[in-house]
């Protein structure tokens, strides 16, 4: 998991550029999962941990260029696609970023068709939720890991988190 954390944090480093070029980019924060049966090496096995690792992720929004509006946990510790499923189904681009759903200082959420009368209540609720939120165009988006107070990943915190959800209670004295 440490390498997944490093991938989210380090910019313009050779190892990340090589991994991204070889495996492709799924989002700003992770590579595509390789389905090739050979020639993918260690990174394929590291990426298998992404689902478990990402369960504890959240974001601090800066300019909104890299955080997905509907699918990432950036507002109220939840994802908008779960809170507003009918609006999510109308989204023109379900993977659009926060900044793509803004027009300057106002929200301009992209839908693939005009709203029906019965859909306006959900839209109004969403806009009320978003009303107090503003982007900081001078800052970059930050990936945070949710189990530590400062949002930084540590191997120790990951170990404690996995132990908390693991029914097996083996005693490993060398790790204490």
Among 20-24, 66-70, 99-103, 161-165, the least confident range: 161-165
Neighbours of 84 (CB within 10 A): 19
- Picking from 132, 122, 110, the residue whose alpha carbon sits closest to that of residue 84 is 122
- Evaluate if residue 54 carries a pLDDT over 90: no
Highest mean pLDDT: which range of 26-30, 39-43, 93-97, 155-159: 93-97
Indicate the helix (H) or strand (E) that contains 20: helix 14-23
Highest mean pLDDT: which range of 37-46, 53-62, 116-125, 145-154: 116-125
| Contacts with 15 (C-beta within 8 Å, 6 or more apart), sequence order | none
Q: 140-149 in b/e burial notation, b at 16+ Cβ within 10 A?
A: ebebbbeebe
pLDDT: which is higher, 174 or 121? 121
First CA to last CA distance, the chain = 19
pLDDT: which is higher, 82 or 158? 82
- Position 142 scores a pLDDT of 86
- Position 117 scores a pLDDT of 92
- Position 124 scores a pLDDT of 95
Output the pTM of the full model.
Answer: 0.69
- Evaluate if residue 172 carries a pLDDT over 60: no
Average of per-residue pLDDT across 142-165: 73
Backbone angles phi, psi at 141, to 5 degrees: -65, 145
Average of per-residue pLDDT across 27-38: 67
- Picking from 9, 7, 3, the residue whose alpha carbon sits closest to that of residue 151 is 9
- Position 173 scores a pLDDT of 60
Domain ranges of the chain: 2-146, 147-176
The mean predicted confidence, pLDDT, of the chain is 80
């Amino acid at each position: 998991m440490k390498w997944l954390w490093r991938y989210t944090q380090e910019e313009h480093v050779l190892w990340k550029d090589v991994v991204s070029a070889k495996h492709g980019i799924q989002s700003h924060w992770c590579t595509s999962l390789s389905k090739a049966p050979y020639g993918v090496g260690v990174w394929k096995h590291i990426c298998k941990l992404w689902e478990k690792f990402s369960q504890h992720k959240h974001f601090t929004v800066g300019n909104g260029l890299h955080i997905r509006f509907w699918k990432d946990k950036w507002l109220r510790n939840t994802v908008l696609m779960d809170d507003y499923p009918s609006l999510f189904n109308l989204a023109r681009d379900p993977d659009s970023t926060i900044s793509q759903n803004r027009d300057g200082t106002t929200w301009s959420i992209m839908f693939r068709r005009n709203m029906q009368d019965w859909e306006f209540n959900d839209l109004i609720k969403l806009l009320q939720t978003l009303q107090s939120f503003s982007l900081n165009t001078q800052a970059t988006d930050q990936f945070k890991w949710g189990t530590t107070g400062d949002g930084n990943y540590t191997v120790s915190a990951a170990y404690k988190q996995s132990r908390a959800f693991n029914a097996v209670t083996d005693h490993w004295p060398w790790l204490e």
